[in-house]
Copies of this chain bind each other. A is one copy, B any other.
């Protein structure tokens, strides 16, 4: 008799990292429930990519949740009054930081996990490439996991405790790409661009495109994504 697979909720953005995290969750033997968000992004390209990735990787279910982060403003990714910066290097928290975004995303994942009876959540954050985002740090994830286990039924019963899996947390972008290529991730289906062209082509010059292209170069691979220009 086949053993029943454990369920995992996987946050899926349509980007390179979360597509890789999903492939890792599958390779680890989980039945995957992918969760994406419509949160006032400047473009719908990310969600189109998330759908492609969910489909290609054959998840048990893929849900898109509407959330209104744009209502609060404060980020270049959701506020049309703030320009997306190109070719910027500094130590400050980027203007593309969306307030409390990962906290909100994980909270929805937690709600779904509880309903599914799942005790495993996967999130494709990594600390090396995004050190400017406070909610991409291991100490944030550890604190979130502690809080989550107090927030839910698991915290007051003998049920198994919840685990937040961050399989990419200390990998470089090149290592993430190598891992994903081994697992057969179709990276042409993923987008990382903060400011894509109307036809969906990535800009090649925003922070996120530059990190991605550098990663492919260091991994000795070619990015199959369509670009307007490459730096």
A: residues with CB less than 8 A from B are 63, 65-69, 71-74, 93, 97-104, 107-108, 110-112, 114-115, 134-135, 137, 139-140, 143-144, 146-148, 150-153, 155-157
Residue of B72, B101, B152 touching A99 (CB-CB under 8 A): B152
Q: How far is the CB of A25 from chain B (nearest CB, A)?
A: 19
Complex Cα distance A96/B65, Å? 22
Tell whether A156 pairs with B93 under 8 Å between CB atoms, given A134-B151, A143-B143, A150-B139: yes
Q: Are A114 and B100 in contact (CB under 8 A)?
A: yes
A-side interface mostly? helix
Sample 12 A-B pairs with CB under 8 A, ordered by A number.
A63-B71, A65-B68, A100-B111, A100-B114, A100-B152, A101-B111, A102-B151, A103-B110, A103-B151, A104-B107, A143-B147, A143-B150
Tell whether A99 pairs with B115 under 8 Å between CB atoms, given A143-B143, A146-B146: yes
Q: Are A115 and B150 in contact (CB under 8 A)?
A: no
Tell whether A147 pairs with B150 under 8 Å between CB atoms, given A65-B71, A110-B99: no
Complex Cα distance A153/B68, Å? 20
Q: Whose C-beta in chain B lies nearest to the C-beta of A150?
A: B140
A135 contact set on B, CB distance < 8 A: 150-152
Q: Whose C-beta in chain B lies nearest to the C-beta of A140?
A: B150
A146 contact set on B, CB distance < 8 A: 143, 146-147
Q: Are B110 and A100 in contact (CB under 8 A)?
A: yes
